[in-house]
Homo-oligomer: A and B are copies of this chain.
């Protein structure tokens, strides 16, 4: 379990055994069942999550109770209501399991201790969020320029394994179309 985290971090910054031991001390392992919520709107957000196995979704639920999927997270990805976590405010998003899921999570204090105690970890987080920002920017461009069908094809191309594992209704909620429209794209 921790080995996956170590490999993930070492893709960006190599660590000695002692350094990784320091890192690992700041993470807590948790297991959740399919359909379980890790975060719900209004919660105090104590943790941010690294997915070891399984599948999560980050969801915004609007006034009409419609669900819009901000992001998915599979093995090796990070997930959480980052705004609420980082600013220690109430959650506006929810995090929910689409499959049984194992995570390693940390608190904001852990995050700060990691950044302050080991400069490599600050470098690691900077690198991660840089690419997270770019991924978000690409998605914005995709939403500005492409039709539902084109966005669906981009998703299939970019994350083929996700499309296998997730119900189409969930993909529709991620793409920003109704499930009926998604169903009709390839009739």
Residues of A within 8 A of B (CB): 60, 62, 66, 68, 70, 82-83, 86, 115, 119, 122-123, 125-126, 129-130, 132-134, 136-137, 139-141, 143-145, 176
Contact = CB atoms under 8 A, between A and B. Distances in A.
Given A129-B129, A133-B132, A68 B122 contact: no
B141 A68 contact: yes
Contact of A144 (B68, B125, B133, B137): B68
Give the oligomeric copy count. Answer: 2
Nearest to A145: B62
10 contacts: A70-B137, A70-B140, A83-B137, A86-B134, A115-B126, A129-B133, A132-B133, A140-B140, A143-B143, A144-B176
B129 A122 contact: no
A68 B143 CA distance: 10
Contacts of A143: 140, 143, 176
Contacts of A139: 140
A129 B134 CA distance: 10
A94 to B, nearest CB: 13
B145 A60 contact: yes
